[in-house]
Amino acid sequence: MDNHLTLNLLIWRQSGPEQPGMMVPYTISGVSPEMSFLEMLDHLNDDLSRRGERPVEFDSDCREGICGTCGLVINGIAHGPKSACTTCELRMRSFKSGDTISVEPFRATGFPIVRDLVVDRGAFDRIIAKGGYVSVNTGAAPDGNAIPVSKFDADRAMDAASCIGCGACVAACPNASASLFVSAKVAQLALLPQGQPERDHRALKMVEQMDREGFGDCSNHGECEAVCPKAISISHIAIMRRDFMRAAVQ
Amino acid sequence: MGKSPLLDAKIPSGPVEQKWTVFRGDADLVSPANKRKHTIIVVGTGLAGASAAASLAEMGYNVLSFCIQDSPRRAHSVAAQGGINAAKNYQNDGDSVRRLFHDTIKGGDFRAREANVYRLAEVSVNIIDQCVAQGVPFAREYGGTLANRSFGGAQVSRTFYARGQTGQQLMLGAYGALMRQVNEGTVKMFPRREMLDIVLVDGKARGIICRNLTNGEIERYAAHAVVLCTGGYSTAYYLSTNAVSCNVTAAWRCHKRGALFANPCYTQIHPTCIPQSGDSQSKLTLMSESLRNDGRVWVPKAKHDQRRPSEIPEDERDYFLERRYPAFGNLVPRDIASRASKRVCDEGHGVGPTGYAVYLDFGDAIKRLGRNKVQERYGNLFAMYHEITDDDPYDTPMRIYPAPHYTMGGLWVDYNLMSTIPGLHVLGEANFSDHGANRLGASALMQGLADGYFVLPYTIGAYLAGERLGAIGTDHEAFDAVEQEVKESVAALLKRKKGEKTITEFHRELGKVLWEDVGMSRHHEGLETAIRRIREMRAEYHDAVFVPGEGEELNRSLEMAGRVADFFELAELMARDALQREESCGGHFRQEHRTRDGEAKRDDKNFAFVGAWEYKGRDEEPVLHKEPLVFENMELKQRSYK
Ligand SMILES: Cc1cc2nc3c(=O)[nH]c(=O)nc-3n(C[C@H](O)[C@H](O)[C@H](O)COP(=O)(O)OP(=O)(O)OC[C@H]3O[C@@H](n4cnc5c(N)ncnc54)[C@H](O)[C@@H]3O)c2cc1C
Ligand code: FES
């Protein structure tokens, strides 16, 4: 039985940051349902390359949903139709033969396009640099068990810490806000004793940098939570707001 | 056994427990004012690179940090799942620095250097403290203390973890430390850069040549020393558990400039991975070793049994690890578990469509612990498995099979983590140093962070203090020559305007040869055939591969093409090293050398050495150098987990 799919793809092609881009149609056959979405694109690229054409550029690395490198808007949804799933984890069994699938980059002012589906998410690093850590030098740490942390807090901190920094939240937000990303880090450290000394300062600095990078405000649409491949809760944004306000009035 | 003069390991004298303390007490230091005048290049931002770069910058050095990904946080370390070892003995189950040392030497099948391993075990305890202080959300007990789990090759519970995302959490801790230094201006970060060569001045490492992956420009960077933290080379096999950008390029190009490459044949095939499903697959997915804490491995007793697992009664199942290794059961080291799985499949007991898979069954665990507890421990791994295979491991056993995962071999380094090129230090998976012929689970994260946070910051200071190097600029003539060579090799890859076979097809073919003949089981003829095949394929690659696009732009195909070219050269060395090593040890299993019950048979009389290869030129035979391994604290004996 041949269960291979034939698909019509519409892919965003743009040869450089300053060049105009457009959606280009491709037809691809021989796609097996076990393939991941990115393996389907590899397959297309092999075809293109054999024909002497330029492959579609996209980012990926771990291909198992943890590094946050991949990220495509598939049929209008960041990371595609499955919830709590990155682009690289998405399998082609989510599609039917004959489907038309549009593939676009994560678009936002804060994420300029580099080429085709590749964007520059350097803004995220610059936000973290402003305070997404505990300021402790190597060698200056007390024993790991010196400060007990309740299992409940550790688990909640871990929920926040599982953010992979992919930027889907920004791509999905009508305001292109980075609030879910920033709040995940702020909340992780706010929930742990180690994060307390710098707590307010951290929220202030990171939020200021987020604004500077051109990300919009959060107006509680909740689209970010819906597309987040790690299902990070929008409730973290409330923690961030509280810490930010406290710091801002001081 | 003659010791090569090139391989002076510089192990401090004295008893093994005191070597590191004495070293630190006696090492020359660089004064704070002088540290500012020293620039150090750190290539790679995985656990090894990020921890090294952050620590060096905190100490006052100027650091230039490089990685391939668009952000340092995405380095491959982020994918590690199961955990990190440390001899904390928080469980009061008899653990100690000495026991971790002992387990690691034995796990490595007596092919690692005692002094390095002891130091690793010693600093392991500091790593956990450091990470906790950074806000790494390790799993906790209800009382608020740190939780532990067990990993293979150990009878104590010393593995710290953060759900199934330990690597991610340690990575984000180290990345945070790194970004803090970026903010302070002590680290300059260069993401989307690929190091393509090293620049030597007066024989010492003084700079690198990179390709800017965004615009294709070839760039030069100068420093007083270079630190390579560029990870392992499992992707030589094409299909592996590693990220797709993992490569050997930086290490290999240093090898060609004089850094000896040690034990390239020591590769780790991990027992619990999701089996291959089709030819278009781009990578294999690991199911963490931690699953063997609660999962039981079995196959049907009958050959070619087509029944569903639920239809096979208990007494018709062969729990072959528990049967063959009662003392360690499902938690035998990886090399042993992998070979045992291969053996039952080769004998016809394998399951799944290809017959190359075994069951990893959580039925008993769910009965014993309840679904919730199992979900809490392994939820994300189960979800990942479900997504990939469309099977739900809560209802039916997982199907797993071994896959290339980790490489113990790497650039040779001395006790100071310096290669045979003065000034070039190598950390993490990229070096060969601590795991011998087989790495124990949860020990790579430990080694990467030990090297970066706690070892290199001391040893590099001693090097710099001793050398008193002056500053050089990138206008030094040595940069002209190397840059020219890099540009020529990039241009050579782009010279064809059309071609039948794609880069991926070549890589996949190379991977097949390595998997068949330099994989879990090796023999003389197979290795000789592999060497011949690799050479033929390499020649064909250079004649026929087509690389689309241009050099001066973002071009993934070009990046891959360069990496695959290096894999061809490395692959030959892996096979040669495997051929040379006429014994079985750890992950290196030679069919000719086994005990009567099929276990690996070492030859300590003739092969208790580190084999380090010297590059002699494109078409010259490489030369093998030997560093004899001396065991003063452990008795050399046949490994047994029975
Ligand atoms: C799926 C998986 C799970 C694992 N789980 C565990 C576990 O539970 N416990 C454990 O102990 N170990 C585990 N390991 C092993 C462990 O993750 C790795 O050995 C370890 O993280 C390697 O760290 P590293 O810093 O040496 O290199 P990496 O993390 O691989 O980093 C390499 C860095 O070098 C950069 N780089 C490479 N080449 C170049 C170049 N030419 N130019 C510029 N930059 C370059 C990359 O961009 C990257 O930043 C696992 C491995 C895998 C694949
Ligand atoms: S490639 Fe790593 S998350 Fe998708």
B359/B310 Cα distance (integer angstroms): 11
| pLDDT category of residue A45 using cuts at 50, 70 and 90 | very high
Q: What share of chain A is helix, strand, coil (3-state, %, to 5)?
A: 35, 15, 50
What is the average pLDDT score of chain A? Answer: 96
| Token pair recorded at residue B564 | 């695959």
Which one of the ligands is nearest to B68 CA?
A: 1
Tally the domains of chain A: 2
Alpha helix positions (H), B271-399: 320-324, 334-346, 363-369, 371-389
Domain-embedded: residue A115: no
Our answer on whether the CB atom of B428 is closer than 6 Å to any ligand 1 atom is yes
B99/A171 Cα distance (integer angstroms): 50
Domain-embedded: residue A218: yes
B312/A40 Cα distance (integer angstroms): 37
Q: Are residues A96 and A164 in the same domain?
A: no
Of A35, A128, A139, the CB nearest to B176: A128
Q: What pLDDT was estimated at residue B1?
A: 62
Question: B58 and B33 in contact (C-beta within 8 Å)?
Answer: no
First and final CA of chain B: distance in angstroms?
32
Of B51, B135, B244, the CB nearest to A60: B244
Q: Do A49 and B88 touch (CB under 8 A)?
A: no
For residue A159, the distance in angstroms to the closest alpha carbon of chain B comes to 9
> What is the SS3 assignment for A95?
coil
Domain-embedded: residue A203: yes
Chain A contact set for B167 (CB, 8 A)? 66
Integer angstrom CA distances of residue B344 from B244, B272, B298, B321: 30, 15, 10, 11
Integer angstrom CA distances of residue B560 from B236, B460, B576: 12, 32, 24
Chain B contact set for A67 (CB, 8 A)? 69, 74, 76, 78-79, 243
Q: Do B168 and A149 touch (CB under 8 A)?
A: no
Give the pLDDT confidence of B336-347 residue by residue, as tens digits: 999 999 999 999
Superfamily name with CATH number, domain B21-80+165-268+406-467: FAD/NAD(P)-binding domain (3.50.50.60)
Query: Closest ligand 1 atom to the C-alpha of B230?
Result: 34
DSSP state of A223: H
Domain-embedded: residue A221: yes
A10/A26 Cα distance (integer angstroms): 6
| Token pair recorded at residue B124 | 């392991």
Question: B4 and B625 in contact (C-beta within 8 Å)?
Answer: yes
H or E segment and range at residue B489:
helix B477-493
Domain-embedded: residue A112: no
Alpha helix positions (H), B68-205: 97-107, 114-134, 166-184
Our answer on whether the CB atom of A34 is closer than 6 Å to any ligand 2 atom is no
Q: What is the largest CA-CA distance in chain A?
A: 69
Give the pLDDT confidence of B527-551 residue by residue, as tens digits: 999 999 999 999 999 999 999 999 9
How many helices and strands, by DSSP H and E, does chain B display? 18, 19
What is the average pLDDT score of chain B? Answer: 96
Give the pLDDT confidence of B218-246 residue by residue, as tens digits: 999 999 999 999 999 999 999 999 999 99
Question: B62-66 and B84-85 as β-strands: parallel, antiparallel, unpaired?
Answer: unpaired
Q: What pLDDT was estimated at residue A230?
A: 96
Our answer on whether the CB atom of A39 is closer than 6 Å to any ligand 2 atom is no
Show which of A58, A74, A104 is a domain's final residue: A104
Q: Are residues A80 and A166 in the same domain?
A: no
Question: B50 and B89 in contact (C-beta within 8 Å)?
Answer: no
Phi, psi of B184 (to 5 degrees): -80, -10
Q: Which residues 14-43 of chain A have a CB within 8 Å of chain B?
A: 15-16, 32, 34-36, 38-39, 42-43
Our answer on whether the CB atom of B287 is closer than 6 Å to any ligand 1 atom is no
Which one of the ligands is nearest to A89 CA?
A: 2
Question: B580 and B409 in contact (C-beta within 8 Å)?
Answer: no
Chain A contact set for B169 (CB, 8 A)? 158, 161
Give the neighbor-by-neighbor strand order of the sheet with B218-222. B193-201, B204-212, B218-222
Phi, psi of B403 (to 5 degrees): -150, 150
Domain-embedded: residue A111: no
Among B285, B295, B286, smallest CA distance to B377 is for B295
User: Rounded to the nearest whole angstrom, what is the distance from the C-alpha of residue B45 to the centroid of ligand 1?
Assistant: 9
Chain A contact set for B137 (CB, 8 A)? 154-155, 157-158, 161, 188, 192
Q: What pLDDT was estimated at residue B513?
A: 97
A173/A143 Cα distance (integer angstroms): 42
Q: Are residues A234 and A141 in the same domain?
A: yes
Query: A210 lies in which domain range?
Result: 122-249
Q: Are residues A231 and A126 in the same domain?
A: yes
User: Rounded to the nearest whole angstrom, what is the distance from the C-alpha of residue B429 to the centroid of ligand 1?
Assistant: 7
Of B78, B90, B387, the CB nearest to A145: B90
Instruction: Provide the residue ranges of all domains of chain B, joining segments of one domain with +.
Output: 21-80+165-268+406-467, 270-403, 478-607
Chain B contact set for A16 (CB, 8 A)? 553
AA letter at A203: A
Q: Are residues A138 and A76 in the same domain?
A: no
- Angle at which helices B477-493 and B556-580 cross, to 10°: 100
Chain A residue with minimal CA distance to B161? A158
Q: What pLDDT was estimated at residue B280?
A: 85
Chain A residue with minimal CA distance to B504? A46
Q: Are residues A132 and A198 in the same domain?
A: yes
pLDDT at B78 over 80: yes
Q: Are residues A129 and A181 in the same domain?
A: yes
Question: Mean pLDDT lowest for which of A56-65, B428-437, B497-506?
Answer: B497-506
Residue B160 exposed, middle or buried by CB count within 10 Å (0-12, 13-18, 19+): buried
Give the pLDDT confidence of B572-585 residue by residue, as tens digits: 999 999 999 999 99
Among B314, B288, B283, smallest CA distance to B400 is for B288
Our answer on whether the CB atom of B166 is closer than 6 Å to any ligand 1 atom is yes
Q: Do A93 and B557 touch (CB under 8 A)?
A: no
Optimal mutation site among B163, B168, B563, interface A, most CBs of chain A within 10 A: B168
Q: Are residues A169 and A84 in the same domain?
A: no
pTM greater than 0.90 (yes/no): yes
Q: Are residues A59 and A23 in the same domain?
A: yes
What number of CA atoms fall less than 13 Å from residue A182's CA on the CB side? 33
Q: Are residues A91 and A194 in the same domain?
A: no
AA letter at A229: P
B570/B563 Cα distance (integer angstroms): 10
pLDDT at A1 over 60: no
Integer angstrom CA distances of residue B554 from A110, B107, B194, B215, B217: 20, 43, 12, 5, 10
Q: Whose CA is nearest to atom 3 of ligand 2?
A: A65
Our answer on whether the CB atom of A36 is closer than 6 Å to any ligand 2 atom is no
Q: What pLDDT was estimated at residue B500?
A: 80
User: Rounded to the nearest whole angstrom, what is the distance from the C-alpha of residue A32 to the centroid of ligand 2?
Assistant: 20
> What is the SS3 assignment for B63?
strand
Q: What pLDDT was estimated at residue B378?
A: 87
Chain B residue with minimal CA distance to A138? B55
Q: Whose CA is nearest to atom 53 of ligand 1?
A: B242
CATH of the domain spanning B478-607: 1.20.58.100
Contacts (Cβ under 8 Å, ≥6 apart) of B307: B300
B448/B75 Cα distance (integer angstroms): 12
Q: Are residues A171 and A236 in the same domain?
A: yes
Chain B contact set for A135 (CB, 8 A)? 180
Domain B270-403: CATH architecture, name and number where available: Alpha-Beta Complex (3.90)
Of A63, A121, A194, the CB nearest to B133: A194
User: Rounded to the nearest whole angstrom, what is the distance from the C-alpha of residue A185 to the centroid of ligand 1?
Assistant: 23
Q: B598 — alpha (psi -120 to 50), left (phi > 0) or beta?
A: left
Q: Do A130 and B183 touch (CB under 8 A)?
A: yes
A74/B8 Cα distance (integer angstroms): 56
DSSP state of B590: B
Which one of the ligands is nearest to B245 CA?
A: 1
Most confident of B274-278, B377-381, B575-579: B575-579
B633/B629 Cα distance (integer angstroms): 12
> What is the SS3 assignment for A2?
coil
Higher pLDDT, B130 or A249: B130
Q: What pLDDT was estimated at residue B21?
A: 97
Of B137, B503, B554, the CB nearest to A192: B137
The one catalytic residue among B158, B334, B533, B639: B334
Domain-embedded: residue A168: yes
Question: B64 and B221 in contact (C-beta within 8 Å)?
Answer: yes
- % of chain B beyond a pLDDT of 70: 100
The owner of tokens 């080379």 is: B233
Catalytic residue check, B334: yes
> What is the SS3 assignment for A97?
coil
Among B467, B356, B451, B363, smallest CA distance to B413 is for B451
| Token pair recorded at residue B454 | 């706690």
B262/B628 Cα distance (integer angstroms): 13
